Structure 1
Amino acid sequence: MISVEQARKILYENSERGKITTIELRESLGTVLAEDIYSSIDVPSFDNSAMDGYALKFDGESESWRLQGEIQAGDTAVHEVASGEATRIFTGAKMPEGADTVIQQELIERKGDRIIYNHEKISTGSNVRLTGSQCKAGDQILKKGTKVTSGVVGLLASVGVSKMKIFTPPSVAYVVTGNELKEPGEPLKTGEIYNSNGPMLEALLKQIGIKEIVAKRASDDKEKLQQIINSAWEQQDVLILSGGISVGDYDFVKECLEKVGVKELFYKIKQRPGKPMYVGKKGDKMVFALPGNPASVLSCYVQYVKPCLQNLMGKKDAWQPDNILPLLEDVKKKPGFTFFMKAKKEDGKVKILTGQQSFNLQAFSTADCLVELEEEAEVVPKGTLVKIYNL
């Protein structure tokens, strides 16, 4: 049995960097850039109006201008205004030559073919978006390793990028084992439970941008389990199993993985929950066999599976905690094991929740993080800075 730090070190040394592929902008949300991105154009590419109003040359003294013409957004014609003239203009429309300012329409009084402005809210250059004020041609706008959010999609579109290189999200199969499992919505008999690990794992994978997910169920039958593992191993990049990895008479997962030729990286970690966890590798493919209890599944996923997957997807600092915060109150624990406890962040501190049993999912309805409590500690005092891992 190894320590949490040893397990992390082994995985850090054995986790792969993902393959690189080129994808369309519309498919990029949640992926990680595998290249630096440079703008090929100035944005904006022309001076344009930030308001619906009137474009003119502003000298700070004139109060009246003769109105001539109109410019809508998308108008590509060349327009001009002379001194003492103004043009009606709309948001996003190209500024006419000779104009340097836009006065918003609500500050203007119109009298026939003239407009009048006698306030003090405007100065030269007001309400004009200048060429290149977002970025200039040749500017680096995004770095390799950036996660593509909705805002990043907008930025890429604004400079005309339609394709980009990303770290390919791996395909993942998860196998939920156990004769006792029924799918939500099915009637239960005494001795049966609902499959919560499968839906939870699928949600966790989608949350980090995994798109190719294959779900499988396996009974506690060695031959059938072997067939499912063989199939998943051939077709997917990463395999995750829950249940069947302890030392019971019907725990066949470890044996079946060895028959596939998986090399064990480690088995069992000095932690709670999730001690009987197995990780193995064959070639560039990895397998994570997690205990069957739901809290154990989630804890092991957050600590070990998620960083490996995010590393494959190009994320920087995948192995670092998300935060370090002080405990809101004293916490007692058993020494000799690292504890991962369901918790909630409150006003810059973190509160340990009730319902820490490995089968208990109730606390996850309010938990927003896991707190790591060090192996040898027996009492962790209020105010102690602890590592935080977001859920």
Structure 2
Amino acid sequence: MITVDKAKEILQSQKFPTVEERLSLIQARGRFLSEPIFSPMDVPSFDNSAMDGYAFSWSEGINSLELVGEVPAGKSSDLILKSGQAVRIFTGAPIPKGSDTVVQQEKVRKEGDKVFFDPADSNLGMHVRKKGAQCQNGDLIAQKGSLLTPGMISLLASVGVTEVQVYATPKVALLITGDEIQEIGTNLSHGHIYNANGPALTAWLSDMGVKDIRTIKVNDEKSEVIDSVKKALEWADLILITGGISVGDYDFVKQALSENRVKELFYKVSQRPGKPLFAGRTSSQMVFALPGNPASVLSCFMNYVKPWIRGQMGYSNTWENWELLPMAQSHVSKVRLTVFLKSKIRNGKVEVLTGQESFNLFAFGEADGFAEIPMGSEEIGSGDLVKFYKW
């Protein structure tokens, strides 16, 4: 067996060509830019009012103005204001020629076609958004590798960007092995269990923006497992297999991978859950064979598969996906393995939940991540810092 750190080190060293695609701005939510973006225009593209108020030409001590017109947002005016004149103006409306300042309406007293205000309530250029104040034509506004958050999408939309070049998500083949696995929505036969791993992995992949997922149910027959792996390799960028990777009489996954010329990177990690984890690759594809127990599947996905996918999608520091937090209670480890515990954050502390068995999914309904207990740590005390991997 290799250590958790060594397994992650091996995966980080695997280099694959990145794939890019062009998407509409809205479709690109949550993706990463594969090229920088420069503004094609000045924003704002004209001087405009930051307030509802009155636009005029500022001069020292001025306290009254003659009202000569009105400029709503979305309209412009041919007026050229003279000294002592003003127009009623609304937020976002273009500043008329001859004006350079806006006094907000709350500071003004209006009498007929005259407006009055305290000179102390105005100064030159007040409440005027100048052309190019946000950015100017040619400015770098988004670097390569930037995450397309709603805020970034808003910025790009403000300069008229409609499409962006982003890192593509992988096509994923999800192979669920096991004669005992039965699909939800059917009457459960004696000796069978429902397929919990498939929906969980599909949901997690979908949350990451992965859309192209094909799920294949595979029976525990050697020829079928070999053929299913072969077909998956003909199509997918990433192959995820659950079950069949141990050493039982009906575990054929490792042999199937070997016969399909998948190069082994490592097999078995000194961890619980998820010890019989396999990682391998072809020249352009990654393969993870995960144990069948749900806790093992989800733990391995979080710690190895998810960081690898995120790296392919343009994330930086994807393997540093943890934070140090104090334990809410002490924990005794009885195994000389790295242990991942289903946990929940309460009041800033890591609370280890009951139901840590590999088959037991109950804690997953409450947990929001895994706590890592390092190999060789016989006891972690209350308040001791541990790595917490948030889902």
C-alpha contact (below 8 Å) 2:17/2:284 kept by paired residues: no
C-alpha contact (below 8 Å) 1:17/1:314 kept by paired residues: no
CA RMSD of aligned residues (A): 2.2
What does residue 226 of structure 1 align with? 226
Shift of 1:302: 0.9
Shift of 1:118: 4.5
Structure 1 residue matching 2:389: 3-state secondary structure = strand
| 1:184 partnered with 2:177 | no
C-alpha contact (below 8 Å) 1:17/1:311 kept by paired residues: no
| 1:86 partnered with 2:86 | yes
What does residue 345 of structure 1 align with? 345
Give, as a single letter, the amino acid of the residue that structure 1 aligns with 2:308: C
* C-alpha distance in 2 between matches for 1:242 and 1:78: 71
- CA distance change for structure 1 residues 220 and 307 in 2, over 3 Å: closer, same or farther? same
* C-alpha distance in 2 between matches for 1:31 and 1:390: 20
Give, as a single letter, the amino acid of the residue that structure 2 aligns with 1:314: G
Equivalent pairs counted in the alignment come to: 391
* C-alpha distance in 2 between matches for 1:225 and 1:60: 86
Structure 1 residue matching 2:152: 3-state secondary structure = helix
In the TM superposition, 1:34-113 aligns within 5 A as: 34-59=34-59, 61-76=61-76, 78-113=78-113
| 1:315 partnered with 2:315 | yes
Shift of 1:40: 2.9
Structure 2 residue matching 1:256: 3-state secondary structure = helix
In the TM superposition, 1:250-269 aligns within 5 A as: 250-269=250-269
* C-alpha distance in 2 between matches for 1:359 and 1:49: 63
Please give the per-residue CA displacement for 1:17-38, whole angstroms capped at 9, x wherever unaligned.
Answer: 5223333323211211112222
Give, as a single letter, the amino acid of the residue that structure 2 aligns with 1:337: L
Structure 2 residue matching 1:258: 3-state secondary structure = helix
TM-score by length of structure 1 reads 0.92
In the TM superposition, 1:178-257 aligns within 5 A as: 178-257=178-257
Bigger shift: residues 303-312 or 156-165: 156-165
What does residue 378 of structure 1 align with? 378
What does residue 3 of structure 1 align with? 3
TM-score by length of structure 2 reads 0.92
Unaligned runs of 5+ in 1: none
Shift of 1:232: 1.6
What does residue 362 of structure 2 align with? 362
Give, as a single letter, the amino acid of the residue that structure 2 aligns with 1:209: G
- CA distance change for structure 1 residues 243 and 51 in 2, over 3 Å: closer, same or farther? same
- CA distance change for structure 1 residues 184 and 107 in 2, over 3 Å: closer, same or farther? farther
C-alpha contact (below 8 Å) 1:20/1:168 kept by paired residues: yes
Q: Percent identity?
A: 45
Shift of 1:367: 1.9
C-alpha contact (below 8 Å) 2:77/2:96 kept by paired residues: no
Structure 2 residue matching 1:306: 3-state secondary structure = helix
Please give the per-residue CA displacement for 1:78-124, whole angstroms capped at 9, x wherever unaligned.
Answer: 54322222212222211112323333334444333233335965544
Give, as a single letter, the amino acid of the residue that structure 1 aligns with 2:380: V
- CA distance change for structure 1 residues 51 and 362 in 2, over 3 Å: closer, same or farther? farther
* C-alpha distance in 2 between matches for 1:176 and 1:119: 76
In the TM superposition, 1:114-193 aligns within 5 A as: 114-118=114-118, 122-193=122-193
What does residue 289 of structure 1 align with? 289
* C-alpha distance in 1 between matches for 2:91 and 2:227: 63
* C-alpha distance in 1 between matches for 2:99 and 2:176: 68
Shift of 1:59: 4.3
